[in-house]
Amino acid sequence: MESGEMSVADARGQFADVLNEAAVRGRITYITNRGRRIAAVVPVPIAEATEQTHDQPG
């Protein structure tokens, strides 16, 4: 799985492309602010799998 980093300013300007890369190619894009990761755009299957893992008891 491919991943990369992008500043908030760059992500703002390329938002449609970032979303398309996640949806079509399964790419994870980490959004950074002053070099620190603050968020990620991830494909839906990854987000849903994470939710299911966190929703399970134990």
Q: What is the per-residue pLDDT across 3-48, written as a single tens digit (0 to 9) for each?
A: 999 999 999 999 999 999 999 999 999 999 999 999 999 999 999 9
Token code pair at residue 11: 């992500």
DSSP collapsed to 3 states, 2-30: CEEEEEHHHHHHCHHHHHHHHHHHCCEEE
CATH number where 49 lies: 3.40.1620.10
Mapped onto helix, strand or coil, the DSSP state of residue 38 is strand
Integer CA distances (angstroms), 46 to 41, 54, 58, in order = 10, 12, 21
The whole domain housing 20 covers 3-55
pLDDT band at 58 (very low <50, low <70, confident <90, very high): low
- The total domain count for the chain is 1
User: What pTM was computed for the model?
Assistant: 0.85
Taking a C-beta distance cutoff of 8 angstroms, is the pair 31, 24 a contact? no
